[in-house]
Amino acid sequence: MTCTCFIVPQDILKRFASDPSLRDETRSVFDRTANVSRLVRAVREQQTAFTLAAMPFSLAPAVALVAPALRAASPSLVYDCQQGTSTPGLPVSNPSAAADGPTKRACEKALAVARFYSEVFGRDSIDDNHMTLVSSVHYSVGFANAFWNGAQMIYGDGDGEIFADFTNGDDVIGHELTHGVTQHSAGLVYSDEPGGLNESFSDVFGSMFRQWQSGQDVITADWLIGKEIMGPAALARGYTCLRDLANPAAAHCLAPQPTHYSQYQAGMDPHYSSGIPNLAFYKAAMAVGGQSWTKLGKVWYEALTDFAPSPNLSMSQFANRTRAISRNSFPNDATFSSAVDKAWTAVGL
């Protein structure tokens, strides 16, 4: 396994690192990005293991006694790596008022993700314990990725050809911060089926966050992941996104995915196997209608967070959790629970 928890999968980075149609400088950027991506995975796995080991020793925080509506927002700190790789970098004072676009976006969108989780799901920051949100921008030179390292967000500026600045994407920021939510709840390992679920949660909640920000319903949403980070060379090749929850195997996806559990293989990169639960969520959302986060999203959130840590959760186990929750939480709405059941059945689970 060489996949990491970056927004861009490892094989895509390697593909562009050896693409003769790209400039030497651009290929070199992708090669460096791929090497860093490979190494960061081990760091994040250690952070997840530490988080799970520390959970039994956590004390109920005083902030939990305060009504959610009265809690102050979690702080959002931003650091500038200044094209270096030492993190977190130099602290930026008052980042929400910064003239630098990536700094301002990293600060404001992290706060928006925290508001999304608070207002929609009643969660107090990423760890549900008022965690400070830390972001580092301008990481390395042309770094073509963004990632959650187990403790904070790190954003590259993009190579400028295939990828634009990674703070441009609401769903990218929502995706990566959701890795933190998963780390502090289910604690899923990043391999095989749990890894696919891990990536899927980030895509699903990242997409819901983007829809929530724009006030979109399931019909008006485009369900694309990474639309705003596609650079001119990617668009010229017909790539409009990284992934598409509505059509995971589409040719316009830079990283097309399987759409049925029969296509799953052990050891598959989680960025690809996540297409199966992604499509199940989309199908259920379209059948239910309305806004994805108001009802269906809460079922997915409860299935992720209301159970003891389950690092090796399988896709079928998660599917059955959502089936049970949809029946038990909405006992008078057989149409809703049927939509959830049929969506999973449609993808082979």
**Which of the residue ranges 28-37, 69-78, 92-101, 305-314 would you say has the lowest mean pLDDT?**
69-78
What per-residue confidence (pLDDT) applies to 96?
A: 95
**Residue 225, helix vs strand vs coil:** strand
Of 202, 347, 231, whose CA–CA distance to 280 is shortest? 347
| Structural domain count, the chain | 2
Do residue 162 and residue 205 come from a single domain?
A: no
Confidence class of residue 37 from pLDDT cuts 50, 70 and 90?
Answer: low
Of 145, 160, 183, which residue sits at a domain end? 183
Residue 25 has pLDDT above 60, yes or no: yes
Provide the percentage of residues in the chain whose pLDDT is more than 90.
85
Looking at the domain assignment, is residue 4 inside a domain? no
Residues known to be catalytic: 176, 271
How far apart CA 153 and CA 167 sit, in angstroms, is 10
In a domain, 51, yes or no: yes
Using a pLDDT cut of 70, give the percent of the chain over it.
88
Q: Which of 70-84, 122-136, 183-197 has the lowest mean pLDDT?
A: 70-84
Are 205 and 325 in the same domain?
Answer: yes
Supply the pLDDT for residue 35: 82
State the average pLDDT over residues 148-152.
91
Assign 1 a pLDDT band (cuts: 50, 70, 90): very low
Q: What is the pTM of this model?
A: 0.91
Find the mean pLDDT for residues 261-287: 97
* Domain residue limits at 150: 10-183
Quick check: is 294 in a domain?
yes
Nearest Cα neighbor of 41 from 157, 172, 226, 199 is 199
What is the CATH classification number for the domain harbouring 124? Answer: 3.10.170.10
What is the per-residue pLDDT for 36? 81
Which pLDDT does position 56 carry in this prediction? 60
Helices (H) and strands (E) in the chain, counts: 11, 7
237, 128: one domain = no
pLDDT classification of 4: cutoffs 50, 70, 90: very low
Q: Do 183 and 202 form a contact (C-beta atoms < 8 A)?
A: no
What's the rounded Cα separation, in Å, for the pair 56 and 60?
11
